Amino acid sequence: MADADIAEDRAETDGPGDELTRSITGRLLYFYVLGDVLGSGIYVLIGAVAGAVGGAFFLAFAVGVTVATLTGLAYAELVTKYPQAAGAALYVNKAFRNKPLTFLITISFLSSSFAASGSLASGFAAYFQRVWDLPPVLLLTIAFLLFLTILNFIGITESVVTNMVMTFVEVGGLIVVMIIGIWYVAQGSADFGVLTEFNSDGNPILAVVSGVALAFFAMTGFENAANVAEETINPKQAFPRALVGGMISAGVIYVLVAIAAALTVPVDTLADSDAALLEVVEAGIIPVPVGAMTIIFAIIAMTAITNTTLVSVVTQSRILYGMAREDVVPAAFAKIHPTRRSPVFGLGFSFIVVSGLLIVGTLLNNAGAGIDVVERLATVTVVFLLFIYALVIVACLKLRGHDEDDETYRANTVLLYIGLVGNLVLLAYVVYDDPASLWWVAGLLAIGFVLFLVEMAVGRNRPPGTARTSSPPAHDQEV
């Protein structure tokens, strides 16, 4: 890339004020998307998806990634128009100019990210305690979140490079699963009929929809990536390729790993396990000591979950930062640490909220509620995301003809409408299937409402745009 192009991109944000640093290349962004998508659904929820669908659960991942990729086309178009932090909230604000609606989207995505982080942290603890039964689960999950918050505070460049390294590790773990599947097939032991079996409890179509609803938990790479648009070099060229390419790559890997798992381990075993892919490794199919493989794969799985959770932590603080600059949330969230260039208030607030979710889940279980924290928070995440994604597609269509130039990516209109219908159908099913999740949704929205009241009370005395406070910009670092 020419130095002039990089300088021009940086000029869009580097200047007076609290600004983020452009240091993410297109290659890093691709791995950022890929690592985010792969780290959650496969390692954390594959057992739940298998239980919902049956042996054909690979179809749920295939359909889920298809619907998500159609939504990603809308994001690709909007990012090339508005390469700024805040993602969906920014796009809805541009399309409707309605502050309450924009705030609703802001807090909805924040809430989905908070819930996702809690679910992933619980998944991390499940793998950890399959190998080392050391600290209590709640203490382990909070310590895990604190570590990632500190890493992100150090800087976005360090966070994204760490993300890329962990992506290679987690892909390596999934390759191990696929090798086990190939080995099993080569032995002539595989029963391919299992791949056509559906949950006997109901209609096969509803079984797949149920699985897609759970699998959709993993399909958030484009929204999380959109929230680092302001820190990406040449985002108009990098984003469409990184978003769509990352989603397609993840979809292919999802399907292959799901097929391998279904062929090598009974579906009931996968469904009952809180670390389902570890069951594949522990089946002892390849001539490697099972004990050693279990420890190695558990470390790989924890690395993968760490990868996705790190992306969530990055996203939460960037949404708060971006929407504070739009005067939608209190101006304190637009403050950047003078040396680390990290949105420190957003990071601290996010850590407190996610820790609170985990504490509430633990207390409810101690009281006998019997909640599966991983699945419940995953469902809450999906409710928020499907609502947001549908509205982003509407915003994309509404903004057609606005703020476009020769470099603006334009998504296929028919595919956008198909994506819109897909999101709405899945949203209706998730709410119907688990109405109790709406209580958690309401609780997270209540936190947002408090922020809204604070902004209304304080922001009304502040001229528009003054959230963009002044401080000398830090020197950029390229990767």
Phi-psi label, residue 327: left if phi above 0, alpha if psi -120 to 50, beta otherwise: left
Q: What is the pLDDT of residue 67?
A: 87
Closest CA to 466 of 338, 321, 327, 329: 327
Phi-psi label, residue 20: left if phi above 0, alpha if psi -120 to 50, beta otherwise: beta
pLDDT tens, residue by residue, 27-74: 888 887 777 677 656 777 788 888 888 888 888 888 888 888 888 889
Closest CA to 386 of 216, 205, 265: 216
Confidence check: pLDDT of 318 > 90: no
Position with higher pLDDT, 340 vs 318: 318
Q: What is the pLDDT of residue 437?
A: 83
Within 10 angstroms of residue 217's Cβ, the number of other Cβ atoms is 28
Confidence check: pLDDT of 467 > 60: no
Closest CA to 392 of 83, 98, 90: 90
* pLDDT above 70 as % of the chain: 83
Per-residue H/E/C for the chain? CCHHHHHHHHHCCCCCCCCCCCCECHHHHHHHHHHHHHHHHHHHHHHHHHHHHCCCCHHHHHHHHHHHHHHHHHHHHHHHHCCCCCCHHHHHHHHHCCHHHHHHHHHHHHHHHHHHHHHHHHHHHHHHHHHCCCCCHHHHHHHHHHHHHHHHHHCHHHHHHHHHHHHHHHHHHHHHHHHHHHHHHHCCCCCHHHHHCCCCCCCHHHHHHHHHHHHHHHCCHHHHHHCCHHHECCHHHHHHHHHHHHHHHHHHHHHHHHHHHHHHCCHHHHHHCCCHHHHHHHCCCCCCCHHHHHHHHHHHHHHHHHHHHHHHHHHHHHHHHHHHHCCCCCHHHHCCCCCCCCCHHHHHHHHHHHHHHHHHHHHHHHCCCCCCHHHHHHHHHHHHHHHHHHHHHHHHHHCCCCCCCCCCCCCCHHHHHHHHHHHHHHHHHHHHHCCCHHHHHHHHHHHHHHHHHHHHHHHCCCCCCCCCCCCCCCCCCCC
Q: Has residue 430 been placed in a domain?
A: yes
Using an 8 Å Cβ cutoff, are 272 and 43 in contact? Answer: no
R_g over Cα of the chain: 22
Q: What is the pLDDT of residue 417?
A: 95
Q: Has residue 33 been placed in a domain?
A: yes
Confidence check: pLDDT of 165 > 50: yes
Q: Has residue 320 been placed in a domain?
A: yes
Q: What is the pLDDT of residue 158?
A: 61
Give me the mean pLDDT over the 366-392 stretch: 81
Q: Has residue 476 been placed in a domain?
A: no
- Among 118-122, 188-192, 201-205, 282-286, the least confident range: 201-205
Using an 8 Å Cβ cutoff, are 85 and 102 in contact? Answer: no
Confidence check: pLDDT of 413 > 90: yes
Give me the mean pLDDT over the 112-117 stretch: 82
Using an 8 Å Cβ cutoff, are 392 and 74 in contact? Answer: yes
Confidence check: pLDDT of 293 > 80: yes
Confidence check: pLDDT of 6 > 50: no
Q: Has residue 472 been placed in a domain?
A: no
Confidence check: pLDDT of 471 > 50: no
Q: What is the pLDDT of residue 86?
A: 65
Distances (CA, A) of 271 to 79, 211, 388: 38, 12, 29
Q: Has residue 371 been placed in a domain?
A: yes
Confidence check: pLDDT of 454 > 60: yes
Using an 8 Å Cβ cutoff, are 160 and 27 in contact? Answer: no
Position with higher pLDDT, 17 vs 301: 301
If one counts the domains in the chain, the total is 1
- Among 26-40, 285-299, 408-422, 425-439, the least confident range: 26-40
Q: What is the pLDDT of residue 470?
A: 36
Using an 8 Å Cβ cutoff, are 105 and 388 in contact? Answer: yes
Confidence check: pLDDT of 457 > 80: no
Position with higher pLDDT, 109 vs 409: 409
* Residues written for the chain: 479
Closest CA to 106 of 398, 455, 465: 455
Distance of alpha carbon 236 from alpha carbon 35, whole angstroms = 21
Q: What is the pLDDT of residue 227?
A: 66
Q: Which domain holds residue 111?
A: 3-459
Position with higher pLDDT, 472 vs 415: 415
Place of tokens 């749920």: 60
Distance of alpha carbon 221 from alpha carbon 32, whole angstroms = 8
CATH at residue 132 = 1.20.1740.10
Q: What is the pLDDT of residue 45?
A: 77
Place of tokens 């990012």: 79
Q: What is the pLDDT of residue 15?
A: 41
Q: Which residues of 418-429 are buried (b: 16+ CB within 10 A; e: fewer)?
A: ebbebbeebbeb
Average pLDDT, the chain: 79
Give me the mean pLDDT over the 177-181 stretch: 92
Confidence check: pLDDT of 416 > 90: yes
Q: Has residue 261 been placed in a domain?
A: yes
Q: Has residue 247 been placed in a domain?
A: yes
Single-letter code of the amino acid located at 224: N
The set of residues, in sequence order, having a beta carbon less than 8 Å from that of 263 and lying 6+ positions away, is: 181, 184, 185, 190, 191, 192, 194, 195
Place of tokens 């954390």: 44
pTM given for the model: 0.74
pLDDT tens, residue by residue, 337-377: 666 667 788 888 888 888 888 888 888 777 776 677 777 78
Position with higher pLDDT, 262 vs 381: 262
